[in-house]
Amino acid sequence: MSLPVRILVAGLVGGILVFFMGAFEHMALDWGGRTISRIPRDATFREHVQEQSLPPAIYMFPEMPKEGSNAETKRFGEQWKAGPSGLLIIAPPGEDVMPPKTLILEALSNIIAALIAAWIVSLISADKPFLWRWKVVVLMAIFAWVSLVASYGIWYHFPWPFIRDDLLCTILEWSVGGAAIAGLVPGGTKDNA
């Protein structure tokens, strides 16, 4: 099998494994979901939000000044500190919770990420063993988590249990998907080192 075909197969297999590991984590282990709290008096809260006629978007409250004076920035800071403050995500109305489109797009995003990882693994020196190539894939996933998800906790105050569960998901998904990628894609030539 040629290297481009190996990269394609590794990307497809790795991405599908990541997708199914994600399903297992969320459905069997409840990682992520277990960190989402319920709103007391849900019906009353939803009714209040519906009265606002907010289009689908992410909303911050209190409202952050776009370009404000020092007084506006100070006022915002005081309101934020006093609370309640946070983010509200309004989903598009009329959509199912998990339509086929969502599952297809998630699988596609996993396959694209796995194809990128497989291509990067193909650039690694041929003398690097399976375990080394596997660690590279897992470290790429952790790099992405640190670069993106950890920042949601830092800047937007996503709760630590949610951030932690996402890290656990990242490590498990890409440990399994990365094993397939590292096993299917050999390192490159000695010239690639």
Angle (CA) 22-23-25 rounded to 5° is 65
Read off the DSSP letter of residue 145.
Answer: I
Q: How confident is the model over 111-162, as pLDDT tens digits? A: 999 999 999 999 998 889 999 999 999 999 999 999 999 999 999 999 999 9
pLDDT at 191: 44
Per-residue confidence (pLDDT) for residue 189, from 0 to 100:
52
pLDDT in tens, 82-123: 999 999 999 998 889 889 999 999 999 999 999 999 999 999
| Tokens matching residue 23 | 């399903």
DSSP 190: G
3-state secondary structure at position 33: helix
Measured between its terminal Cα atoms, the distance across the chain in Å is 22
Question: Is 65:77 a contact under the CB 8 Å cutoff?
Answer: no
Find the helix packing angle between 100-122 and 160-184, rounded to 10°: 60
What band does 163 get if pLDDT is binned at 50, 70 and 90? very high
Encoded amino acid at 118, one letter: A
Q: Is 60 helix (H, G, I), strand (E, B) or coil?
A: strand
Q: What is the mean pLDDT of residues 16-29?
A: 97
Separation CA 107–CA 26 (nearest Å) = 15
Q: Report pTM.
A: 0.87
Q: With 80 as the cut, is the pLDDT of residue 171 above it?
A: yes
CB–CB of 40/84 below 8 Å? no
d(CA 190, CA 124): 9
pLDDT for residue 192: 41
Q: Where are the beta strands (DSSP E) in the chain?
A: 57-61, 86-90
Could you read off the pLDDT of 29-85 as tens digits, one per residue? 999 899 999 999 999 999 999 999 999 999 999 988 887 678 888 898 999 999 999
Residue among 24, 12, 15, 27 at smallest CA distance from 174: 15
